[in-house]
Amino acid sequence: KAGVTQTPRYLIKTRGQQVTLSCSPISGHRSVSWYQQTPGQGLQFLFEYFSETQRNKGNFPGRFSGRQFSNSRSEMNVSTLELGDSALYLCASSLAGRVSGNTIYFGEGSWLTVV
């Protein structure tokens, strides 16, 4: 069974540009969540989607957005990039019921460097 797949793995962008990251969850998983990992702030929750609906959003500015498609694949977008957006962006998927102890599985991440 394939794991969570994220593309691209590495990318470099210039300040002010925008970026779109893609995530394909494990087959059958309907919940997709995104996390940002930085050395200073650690792992921070961005948002979570289930059946194309955003159920939760973390404390990030509106420049960070996401969506989920009918096949559960998800994208996140960051507009007007800032140097501080340089991070590892991790996508995770789970079966996810309402309040769920289902295991959340992570992808390898997308390394974003903003110059």
Partner 1 sequence: AQSVAQPEDQVKVAEGNPLTVKCTYSVSGNPYLFWYVQYPNRGLQFLLKYITGDNLVKGSYGFEAEFNKSQTSFHLKKPSALVSDSALYFCAVRDTSSNDYKLSFGAGTTVTVRA
Which residues contact partner 1 by CB under 8 A? Answer: 4, 6, 31, 33, 42-43, 45, 48, 50, 55-56, 58, 90, 92, 96, 99-101, 103-109, 111
- In the complex with partner 1, the residue whose CB is nearer, 11 or 80, is 11
Minimum CB–partner distance for residue 44 and partner 1 (Å): 8
- In the complex with partner 1, the residue whose CB is nearer, 17 or 102, is 102
Neighbours of 72 (CB within 10 A): 21
Minimum CB–partner distance for residue 16 and partner 1 (Å): 27
Minimum CB–partner distance for residue 50 and partner 1 (Å): 7
- In the complex with partner 1, the residue whose CB is nearer, 73 or 105, is 105
Determine the residue type at 98.
R
Minimum CB–partner distance for residue 34 and partner 1 (Å): 10
Omega within 30 of 0 (cis) for the link into 25: no
- In the complex with partner 1, the residue whose CB is nearer, 19 or 104, is 104
Neighbours of 83 (CB within 10 A): 9
Q: Maximum distance among all alpha carbons in the chain?
A: 40
Residue from 91, 83, 88 nearest 111 by CA: 88
Residue from 62, 50, 58, 113 nearest 84 by CA: 113
